[in-house]
Amino acid sequence: MNRPNRRSRRIRHTVLAAALLCAGLTAHAGTGLRLGEAGYFSKPGLDVLAFSNVYDGNFSDAKIAGVELIHHGVRTATNGDVRLAPTPEQWDAAATLIERKVDPASGAVTTRMRFDAEDFEYSVRVAPRGDGVAIQVLLDRPLPQALAGKAGFNLEFLPSAYFGKAWLADGRSGQLPLYPSGPSGRAQDGGTVRLPMASGRRLVLAPEDVQRRVSIESPGAELRLYDGRNQAQNGWYVVRSLLPSGKTGTVLEWTLSASTEPGWTRQTVIGHSQVGYHPAQRKVAVLETDRNAPAPGSARLLRVDGDGGAREALAAVPRRWGQYLRYDYYTFDFSDVREPGLYQIEAAGQRTAPFRIADDAYATAWHLTLDVFFPVQMDHMFVNEAYRVWHGRSHMDDARQVAPGKEHFDLYGQGPELDSPFQPGEHIPGLAIGGWFDAGDFDLRTQTHYSTVMSLVDTWELFGPRRDETTIDQKRRHVEIHRPDGVPDLLQQIEHGTLMLIAQHRVFGHAIPGIVEPDLGQYTHLGDAVTKTDGRVDDPSDPDSPHDDRLAFTSNTTALNYGSAAALAAASRVLGGHDAALAAESLATARKVWAFEQGREPNLFKVGNTTGGDPQDEQLRAAVQLLLATGEAQYAQAIAALWPAIDARFGFNAGAVVRVLPEMDDAFRAKFRERAVKFKEERAAMVADNPYGVLITRGGWAGNSAVVGMATTNYWLHTAFPDLFDIEDTLQGLNYLYGTHPDSNLSFVSAVGAQSKTVAYGSNRADFSFIAGGVVPGVLVLKPDFPENKNDWPFLWGQNEYVIDLGARYLFLVHAAQALLQER
């Protein structure tokens, strides 16, 4: 048989490649996928984003970068980019963005990326082709030899979107596993290598499911399918092709196609409070609809009867609000319905879960946060709930002195000085006491702690909830959930946070950034916290010692000192009847810290988010809390002198200042009111772009903290200026948390409300579970216009990770709302 020679084959392949490229770059003119003004490719049922989102370096890989697919309204794939491992982990190397070009004429998006340490640059070009896109990797210089066999183009697919679905690869078939099951192999150096589940030149995922079917073809390179969860529980399914060595130009090309359901439109989301409403408050449901769907038509409010029937309480055509992000919005106002009872909303072919209209709608909504979430987060304690042990008596070997200049992967860092009497690696006695796990991980972050303590103190001083459902025994280091011990739980939680803060001053004479795991192996620990360390103090002279004790970062910063002093002064006011000695020590320490910082140049050392907030804001809070604790004029004078900080960050600082307005002079109060009037206008502008009446932020951490913060600020300003600030802006913050928000109508407080977050980023996230009463960050807005909060995948911390200070501020907000509604 005659065969063409190599040269002729190369020419034919080059011509074919050029033809395919031209076809790919011009296909947008005649197919459904188009490059829109927002800079991504779109048609009904499918969007392809090309580096609309990139790695920000803050917490490394957040699974929001590179080429991404939004398939029938669900973001099913991400991280389409060159990576240096088949199943990279969160902290593995990722390239940084140099340039992104959107070319409407050719319909292509081309992104220039660089690995700095490897001196390696490349481009990724994405353009429409057929039912999907062509993805090309282009090199100006051949792949560095050190990256041969390592660098490849990866695209990661969300496991929860593909659990149990089939795959096809060059005629072979299989099923994507619910639980990671290999395969893995042993490397020559004794390590572990991840092996593909399948390989071939054409790979189809979910061929049986029109809403999830994706086909990838790669004539010039093998496609390999991996299960990234073998490497880490937060891994995704990965499709990967290695980059070839010794080549330039277009060195890799995929054709990615995704099926779409004809006429598909996303189901309308009826945003409403899963907890319910007080009869006297404003009640507005927000309908989030696909822009290609018809208007929702009439909506009905149904009152549920005891026999299972439902009668119409109100019917109306929802009012169109307009466009926000990628959806259309309508509002259904049923404020006039005040009759207590059980209700559902019927609209767009669906009914919501039932919710209450009742005078006590919020009365118990905070119970699980105090009863369960906070006890579960308690460090240095054995925590038990009936037949369940949440965790053992953890970290009783705290802590070792960190070395100077140490940089940590979780935003901690030690300054050039230790600010400590201990040597690097030396055990520091006195730190194994108090504190809460900061978030879904197990570190003790001081900045979060003093914020939490102050919120808990505010709740106690203003509302005095004496609920007792938990036994907390500090001597035995033992907690029993659902077993009262005769002491208000809120006081005991204030004590627990105060013990952690005061321990730092006892040991070092100042606040410290915090205590955190020494290495990634411990940091990524997902079991019982008691098994993270052996509970025994390390012996540096013993070569067999595991050296697993946590590290104390001990830099003496002005911001942390003021923040800690504020919380200690606040705690001193409420602990007197519970632990008089601790209350006295806390106030004396707060005074001492204030005097120390007033007498020195500020230490402005800053690392990540662990060395305190703005020093002036922290000083303001210390002055406020010390003024409330002592009544001394020096602190009022300090508050007046800090007016520039109050003015510049009014929304953040106003709530603290309102508490001491009666202690300030007439001129200050007049100036503060004038600034409040201006802030009312600023707030209106902040929330004008969305139909939910709250500030929806666009950072890498979703915005529930900002929502709660603004609602709480409105509460304080209402108490000071009821003629300027209505209560509804405070209540709307709770409505948002409880389900009146984009993407879904789930309550963001786990186990609170008829339907809530039951898959979240807590310490039990590997079990796809939740901690009752925890509050998640909420809706993350991916650039440019996609709101997301995944309820079937817990590992996205920016959407789903509980943190203690948000839990404490939520607890305050519920009490504040209930108090406001009693006015009506």
Q: Are residues 75 and 108 in the same domain?
A: yes
Max Cα-Cα span within the chain = 102
Handedness of CA 620, 621, 622, 625 (dihedral sign): positive
What does residue 128 show for φ and ψ, rounded to 5 degrees?
-60, 145
**Residue 9 pLDDT more than 90?**
no
| Same-domain pairing of 276 and 200 | no
Asked if residues 476 and 489 have their Cβ atoms less than 8 Å apart, the reply is no
Please, which pLDDT band fits residue 5 given cuts at 50, 70 and 90? very low
Mean pLDDT score, 28-42: 79
The band of 542, judged by pLDDT with boundaries at 50, 70 and 90, is confident
> Is there a single domain that holds both residue 254 and residue 318?
no
pLDDT given for residue 60 in this prediction: 79
Strand partners, 354: none
Of the residues 229, 258, 287, the one at which a domain ends: 258
12-16, 197-201, 779-783: the lowest-pLDDT one: 12-16
How many CA within 13 A on the CB side of residue 377? 39
Helices (H), 469-604: 489-508, 520-523, 558-574, 580-598
Stretch 467-495: mean pLDDT:
98
- pLDDT band for position 539 (50/70/90)? confident
Q: Do 628 and 593 share a structural domain?
A: no
- 186: β partners: 192
Instruction: Give the pLDDT confidence of 756-777 residue by residue, as tens digits.
Output: 999 999 999 999 999 999 999 9
511 Cβ contact partners less than 8 Å away, ≥ 6 residues apart: 446, 450, 501, 504, 505, 556, 557, 560, 561, 563, 564, 565, 593
Q: How confident is the model at residue 30 (pLDDT cuts 50, 70, 90)?
A: very low
* 769 within a domain of the structure (yes/no): no
CATH of the domain at 302: 2.60.40.10
pLDDT at residue 17 in the model? 35
Confidence of residue 742 (pLDDT cuts 50, 70, 90): very high
416 and 299 in a common domain: no
Residue 460 sits in which domain range?
362-610
Query: Is the bond into 219 cis (omega within 30 degrees of 0)?
Result: no
Residue holding tokens 């994507």? Answer: 176
Q: Which whole number is the average pLDDT over 499-513?
A: 98
Q: How far apart are CA 489 and CA 476, in angstroms?
A: 17
Q: Measure the CA–CA gap between 550 and 532, rounded to whole angstroms.
A: 10
Q: Give me the mean pLDDT over the 478-504 stretch.
A: 98
For every residue of 370-429, which 3-state class applies, written as one string?
HHHHHHHHECCCEEEECCEEEECCCCCCCCEECCCCCECCCCCECCCCCCCCCCCCCECC
Classify 661 as helix, strand or coil: helix
How high is the pLDDT of residue 14? 36
Which pLDDT belongs to residue 476?
Answer: 98
| Residue with the larger pLDDT of the pair 188 and 681 | 681
Average pLDDT over residues 664-668: 98
Position 24 pLDDT exceeds 70? no
Average model confidence (pLDDT) for the chain? 94
Sign of the four-CA dihedral 565, 805, 370, 722: positive
Encode pLDDT of 325-384 as tens digits.
Answer: 999 999 999 999 999 999 999 999 999 999 999 999 999 999 999 999 999 999 999 999
- pLDDT tens digits for range 89-106: 999 999 999 999 999 999
Co-location of 205 and 164 in the same domain = yes
Amino acid (one-letter) located at 788? E
Instruction: Write out pLDDT tens, residues 590-646.
Output: 999 999 999 999 999 999 999 999 999 999 999 999 999 999 999 999 999 999 999
d(CA 501, CA 566): 11
Last residue of a domain, one of 685, 710, 725: 685
Mean pLDDT, residues 456-483: 98
Asked if residue 751 is part of any domain, the answer here is no
Cross-strand pairs, 445: 514
404 preceded by cis ω (within 30°)?
A: no
The amino acid occupying position 760 is A
Higher confidence at residue 8 or residue 106?
Answer: 106
pLDDT of residue 4: 38
Residues 386 and 517 occupy one common structural domain: yes
Three-state DSSP state, 24? helix
Does the structure show a pLDDT above 60 at 454?
A: yes
Q: pLDDT at position 376, please?
A: 98
Is-above-0.85 flag for pTM?
A: yes
Within a domain: 319: yes
Cβ-contact 548, 518 below 8 angstroms: yes
Per-residue pLDDT, averaged over 308-329, amounts to 97
pLDDT for residue 13: 36
- Does the pLDDT of residue 222 top 70, yes or no? yes
Question: Do 302 and 429 fall within a single domain?
Answer: no
Query: 373 and 350, same structural domain?
Result: no
CA distance 538 to 397: 8
Residue 130 is assigned to a structural domain of this protein:
yes
Residue 407, pLDDT score: 94
**Is 743 within the bounds of a domain?**
no
Read off the pLDDT band of 32 (50, 70, 90).
confident
Residues 29 and 49 in one domain: yes
Which DSSP letter does residue 801 get? B
Lowest-confidence pick of 48-57, 491-500, 508-517, 790-799: 48-57
Label residue 320 left, alpha or beta by phi (over 0 means left) and psi (-120 to 50 means alpha).
beta
Evaluate if residue 315 carries a pLDDT over 90: yes
What percent of the chain lies above the pLDDT cut of 70? 96
Question: Interior CA angle at 72 toward 71 and 75, to 5°?
Answer: 40
Contact 401, 554 (CB under 8 A): yes
Our CA angle for 414, 452, 752, nearest 5°, is 130
In a domain, 696, yes or no: no
Residue at 789 is within a domain = no
Which pLDDT value is given to residue 56?
Answer: 77
Q: How high is the pLDDT of residue 239?
A: 98
In a domain, 437, yes or no: yes
User: 245 and 281: one domain?
Assistant: no
User: Given 304, 338, 357, which residue is the final one in a domain?
Assistant: 357
3-state secondary structure 324-352: ECCEEEEEEECCCCCCCEEEEEEECCEEC
The percent of residues in the chain predicted with pLDDT above 90, rounded, is 92
Do the bridges between strand 249-258 and strand 46-50 make them parallel or antiparallel, or are there none, so unpaired? unpaired
606 and 663 inside one domain: no
Q: Are 700 and 798 in contact (CB under 8 A)?
A: yes
The count of structural domains within the chain is 4
Q: Residue 705, Cβ neighbours under 10 Å: how many? A: 18
CATH code of residue 545? 1.50.10.10
pLDDT level of residue 11 (50, 70, 90 thresholds) = very low
